[in-house]
Amino acid sequence: MESRVRERLTDIESRIIELVAQGLGNEEIARELYVSRHTVKAHLSVILKKLRASNRTHATYIALKEHLIR
């Protein structure tokens, strides 16, 4: 089975999807990473495209399945 991931996630994208997997919302992620909510949303948009995911839950599932996060 071919991997769904065509482009690798950057360090910040990996960190964001890890925090999503932990159940954090955008505001909490923004505080944790010292960035704006807008920045988190922008990164999530790129993550969804890279992982070909329809939403953040789907992106988390793919990231776990593809061993991008633990």
Per-residue pLDDT of the chain (70 residues; tens, 9 = 90+): 455 566 789 999 999 999 999 999 999 999 999 999 999 999 999 999 999 999 999 999 999 999 998 8
Please state, in angstroms and rounded to a whole number, the distance separating the CA atoms of residues 15 and 29.
Answer: 9
CB atoms within 10 A of CB 43: 21
Task: Estimate to the nearest angstrom the gap between the alpha carbon of 60 and the chain centroid.
Answer: 7
Please state, in angstroms and rounded to a whole number, the distance separating the CA atoms of residues 28 and 37.
Answer: 9
Question: Tokens for 67?
Answer: 């061993």
Q: What is the pTM of this model?
A: 0.89
